[in-house]
Amino acid sequence: MLWPFRLDPADTAATRVIWYNVHLDNADAAGESAHLIAQNADIVALAEIQLRDPGWQALRQHYPHGCAHADDSPFALAVFARAPLAACDILFPGEYPAIRAVLGDGRVLYAAHPPPPINADLARARITYLHELAVRLATEDRVLLVGDLNSSPYSPHYRVLLRDGGLRATTRNLLPTWLPLGLNLDHALIRHGGAHTTALPWHTSDHRPLQTDWSTHDHPL
């Protein structure tokens, strides 16, 4: 439960990234926007966001760059940034979206949200998604993957993702990110470089945000 035993220290010069599954039917988009803006992140990556809701307008104005996969389903996905990105593309590992965003210094951010394994078809789709994602990540240099992976750290498919993608976790296994069961389904995984991740307070969603300070260099451990 305490693995990984050592985590990267905070870096005040790091790029701050927030990952948050905001929930498809979020009842307080305006309040969520205000909370996110107050964190002063450089980039926000959001799952299940319904951008037609005017409550997200302030957030979108604060983060004018990036890209989004708009969908009236839990698989809406967005990466928004305060500064221009070198690239921002929608990918489809299997049949579900992911986002690959390239920062100006060449670092690569992936945002991911595979389907939950609530039936046999979706379970197979999740495995395919994570496998294809791992293949892509293994070809990258400095990369951060954030997402609601619908997999706890004890899932064998999560462990295969770490192994095949050459990734390491930046939070401990025991961190609860999803209610009502308190499971750790939201992750920030790093390949090369350093990242210090903390969980932000619960708000309106059934998930809680993760805040990752993403360094441009490796931290010696």
Judged by DSSP in three states, 117 sits in: coil
* Number of domains the chain is built from: 1
Is residue 67 included in any domain, yes or no?
yes
Is residue 4 included in any domain, yes or no?
no
Termini Cα distance of the chain: 20
Task: Give me the residue label for tokens 């039936």.
Answer: 119
- Residue 31 domain boundaries: 15-210
Is residue 8 included in any domain, yes or no?
no
CATH classification of the domain holding 199: 3.60.10.10
* Side-chain half-sphere CA neighbours of 137 within 13 A: 30
Is residue 10 included in any domain, yes or no?
no
Is residue 218 included in any domain, yes or no?
no
Reading the chain (221 residues) residue by residue, the pLDDT tens digits are: 666 767 777 776 799 999 999 999 999 999 999 999 999 999 999 999 999 999 999 999 999 999 999 999 999 999 999 999 999 999 999 999 999 999 999 999 999 999 999 999 999 999 999 999 999 999 999 999 999 999 999 999 999 999 999 999 999 898 999 999 999 999 999 999 999 999 999 999 999 999 999 997 665 44
Is residue 118 included in any domain, yes or no?
yes
Q: Say if CB 91 and CB 129 are below 8 A apart.
A: no
Is residue 5 included in any domain, yes or no?
no
Task: Give me the residue label for tokens 């005040």.
Answer: 12
Is residue 1 included in any domain, yes or no?
no
